[in-house]
A and B are shown apart, each in its own frame.
Chain A
Amino acid sequence: MDAIYQLIHDYCPTMPDWLALALAILLPIAIVMGVFLTVFALLTWVERKALGRIQNRRGPNRVGPVGLFQPIADGLKLLTKEDIVPNAADKVVHFLAPVLVVVPAFMVLAVVPVAKGFIAVDLNIGVLFALAVSTASVLALFMAGWASHNKFSLLGAMRGVAQVVSYEVPMVLAAVVVLMASGSLSSVSIVEAQRGLTGWFVCKPWGLVGFVIFQLCAMAEVARTPFDLPEAESEIVAGYHTEYSGFKFALFQMGEYVAAITMGGITVTMFLGGYLGPGCDLPKFGWLISACWFFAKLGIIVVINIWARGTWPRVRVDQLLGFAWKLLLPLSLVNIVAMAVWHFAPNKLVGWVESAVLLAVAIVALVKINAGQTFEKRSYRFTS
């Protein structure tokens, strides 16, 4: 924000101050929105293409070169479709839900530093804000499911709520490690704390484990396959957005993808060094280079997401919750201890070895403990 203000000031010294300030506030928001919406559009195309490759088919290839304009066509189609609201639905809530799905996803964007000096608002509680706001999407999800007055919708919504609440705990705990390392909640300071050749937190044992946990939780939080139970089409039609059509449905899709991207952005910021990379500090085009770095890293996360979606089957509800509470949660707690060990170690090497050994032991033990359990035979309460 300050950088843009400076930029405007440099190039147009005659502009009144308030306008410059307003521009400096609005411009980043507009840019971020524009960029991320483009990324969202691209992402849908990339995902469909990649899934096509994984599933040994071509994917979209009719609209534009190699189907590149497919998202635009999809958007136009959805816009022109009839908007159906069920008779029994709670109209107001039914209307509000898709809006509220998108809002938190975009709000999180405000604290993601996409390039050096390029962040909408540099809150000093940035990460906490991101985590808190992304939680709020759970309510929109519930509103959608409940307002539709459809049992599949409600089931999907309740699944979503349970899932988000469960995965939030290990996610926050995994983030704690990063906060401990950087000593700050501000996303910019977190990125700056990762300078250096091996400065990225993912290069440290606790950071690696934290990254994996965080990434898994992020996938569950935004309900991506293999954690897409709230919209499991083979079980509950389309889950909470069964009763949505037209642009409202598009908003749900958008909310989901934007949330996936922003969570990826948070992951990149916290573990992969954000916009850091060779050349990011250059005086003139540093911001461009750093933006490239950021989006490259984001691309990696996105590819991981798509890859996971293409290769893993959907988990069951009990497996999903058990995974969160029995494996991720204890592991993230151990991870915090490992971070403390690292912090108080006499020198780097000792800290490295100690925390790595601790985490390795914990992972092996937890996997052993959880592996021995067989799931109970399913019992149906309402069978005749």
Chain B
Amino acid sequence: MSVPLGYYLMLGGVLFCIGLCGALTRKNAIAVLMSIEIMFNAAILNFVVFWYYLHNGALTGQMFALFAIAVAAAESAVGLALVISVYRHYRSVDVDEMKALKG
């Protein structure tokens, strides 16, 4: 396989920014969470890519990706529970309406 490392990194960056774009623009909290998952995955992809190209025999990159996946699972579980809880409170999952912390 002859893909230079840079292309993978660009792919990761672009995916991250797509996720970021979603997180910045979507109104629905669940959609925002999905966007965050995209960002997460882009970052995990970078771990694996760096592991593949630069690992020199160590498995640290893979281990890190593995733990990142596990953390992401926990994060999404709690995040979605929060979304459900917020929904019950506001009867809405619109992030524009969650502004109780307004200064």
- Asked if A and B touch directly (CB within 8 angstroms), the answer is no
Residues of B within 8 A of A (CB): none
Interface of A toward B, CB cutoff 8 Å: none
